[in-house]
Amino acid sequence: MIETVIAPGPEALGLDRIDPTLDLEREIERLRRDMNAVILAHYYQDEEIQELADFVGDSLDLSRRAAATQADVIVFCGVRFMAETAKILSPERIVLMPDAEAGCSLEESCPPDAFRIFREKHPDHLALSYINCSAEVKALSDIIVTSSNAETIIDSLPQDQPILFAPDRHLGAYLARKTGRDMLLWPGTCVVHEQFSERELLRLKSKHPEAVISAHPECPEAILCHADHVGSTSAMLKFVTASKDREFIIATEPHLIHQMKKAAPEKTFIPAPGADGTCSCANCPFMELNTLEKLYLCMVNMAPRVEISDALRIAARKPLDRMMELSPPAAANTDTPEPKPGFDPRANVA
């Protein structure tokens, strides 16, 4: 895999040299102003990072923000494929990420060389890739999709067009069921959504019979078949906010619940359980690498920093542009949070 993240140099400030008395929030605020930076955070980030961010959203929201920003620096609090996407869409900006090791199990499950061979074996198939993949796999794809726009994009393709879908087999299978399309699926999975337990979910539901189950389509079918609602993180947030119900079981990375509680403080949100009956294993181990300290350090050190060769960037941009062209407009699609100050997810629900 081509390395796209420049690590901090030996002279860089390290975690062990941060002044323990420093007011990190205030320093990050100062750096953001001085650098003309925008901080983008995914819904799966820790609450304290979500609270500091200029925009919080899902992959599609954040791609749109990255493409449209006028800031000189994008600080991307998420995982590597998201920061890469920001750089591909905004090559003239400096793109920083708090931890160079913040990858993704879906990205790891789809090595570019193996994906190239897979494509070559099916030359008549259109390659749709979930945005959770490396820049190299994007460059080998025809259209990128997110969980917000995949169904619309697939429905826009001619019925007789064969499709292969990578890298998430659960999302691919869900989309095949929803759209009635027979798609070839790459066998990747997300470690977070894969670990939810059907048995424990039913046990939890029996204790909370009124609770409505909202699930992300990266979950296996055994979980999705019990869900009252299936959607992207933005769609899940919109659903629970608009719903008249009061209690919800949430089957995705549990940090999304932070925005749900802000949007609907009177409602109850219960994280879906893993096989041991707890939700503790549902935190994304890659997203968790990002901390406030590392966010501060990446702004001080201007690294880890995403750098992508022109050839790779241009090749990876084409399928992302196709995604943007084929996506429903933001307002009609999912809720895209408004910029701070005063970020309030309720404001986005029609």
Answer yes or no whether residue 132 interacts with ligand SF4 by CB under 6 A. yes
Report the residue from 286, 313, 317, 336 that binds ligand SF4 according to the rule CB under 6 A: 286
Give the nearer residue to ligand SF4 in terms of CB position, either 94 or 104: 104
**Count of Cβ atoms closer than 10 Å to residue 311 Cβ:** 9
* CB nearer to ligand SF4: pick between 106 and 251: 106
Residue corresponding to tokens 């708090």? 98
Segment contacting ligand SF4 by CB under 6 A, of 101-109, 154-162, 198-206, 303-311:
101-109
Distance CA 103, CA 135 (A): 12
Q: Which residue, 44 or 115, has its beta carbon nearer to ligand SF4?
A: 44
Is residue 253 near ligand SF4 by the rule CB under 6 A? Answer: yes
Q: Does 183 sit near ligand SF4 (CB under 6 A)? A: no
Residue indicated by tokens 């949070």: 337
Q: Which stretch binds ligand SF4 (CB under 6 A): 1-9, 20-28, 283-291, 332-340?
A: 283-291
Indicate whether 79 belongs to the interface with ligand SF4 (CB under 6 A).
yes
Alpha-carbon span 274 to 195, nearest angstrom:
6
- Asked if 161 and 167 touch (Cβ cutoff 8 Å), the reply is no
State which of residues 104, 219, 292, 303 lies at the interface with ligand SF4 (CB under 6 A). 104
Q: What is the DSSP letter of 274?
A: B
The interface region with ligand SF4, picked from 29-37, 65-73, 153-161, 186-194 by CB under 6 A, is 186-194
Tell me if 42 sits within 8 A of 57, measured CB to CB.
yes
- The angle that helices 310-326 and 80-89 make with each other, rounded to 10 degrees, is 90
Nearest in space to 305 (alpha carbons), one of 113, 163, 95, 109:
95
Closer Cβ to ligand SF4, 150 or 190, answer by number: 190
* Two tokens, residue 153: 């994009």
Rounded Cα–Cα distance for residues 114 and 120 (Å): 10
- Binding residue (CB under 6 A) for ligand SF4 from 190, 224, 230, 263: 190
Residues lying near ligand SF4 in the complex (CB under 6 A): 44, 79, 104-106, 132, 190-192, 253, 284, 286-287
